[in-house]
Amino acid sequence: MASNNLRFVKLWAGGLGRPAVGSAATLRGFGLLGEGDAVPGVDNSLSETLLELKHTVLSDTKCEALIGDGIIAVDNALHVCASAAGLGTSCGGDSGGALVVEVSNFGFLGRWFGAQTEVVSYGVLSFGVSVGGDNCPLDKPTVWTRASAVRPFVADVVAADGLRLL
């Protein structure tokens, strides 16, 4: 149920394409505040409030180079990769969190009154990278499963409960 503190967002549809490389996106989650054992004095507990961190969408090639292990492949049809360029990253507890982007919706009246922007959930956090005991390295990207890749499955599950996607 929507409220002043909680609102619904649209799930990205395939027809909207993919956010452009270099465009802004926001990670939202309740993950760990830091690696307590790796960084002395840093809290190692889950956040009690929803946190967000601005990211930049990366190309698959750049993402794989930053991950750097040669094992994990980023699949353009299934994934989108983004980075906060050393300012922060996803961490334990963020899995399943949304990657949201603002999109312009010109609609019928947009021709006269300008585009309206809306927040859309582009992806669901799939995985980050651990490096030598650091489960939340600041210099590594995060990978999300593209909402459009799983939208038919989500629509079926929601429809089984008598609901529909926005």
Q: Could you read off the pLDDT of 9-46 as tens digits, one per residue?
A: 777 776 667 778 888 888 888 887 665 444 445 556 77
Integer Cα distance of 72 and 10 in angstroms: 29
Cβ pair 92, 32 in contact under 8 A: yes
The residue type found at 37 is: D
The residue type found at 121 is: S
Residue count of the chain, please give it: 166
Cβ pair 35, 134 in contact under 8 A: yes
The residue type found at 145 is: T
Q: Output the pLDDT for position 64.
A: 82
Cβ pair 109, 126 in contact under 8 A: no
Strand-strand pairing, 10-11 and 24-29: unpaired
The CATH number of the domain covering residues in 11-160:
2.40.10.10
* 5 secondary structure, DSSP code: S
What does the pLDDT look like over 130-154, one tens digit per residue?
A: 665 666 777 788 888 888 888 888 8
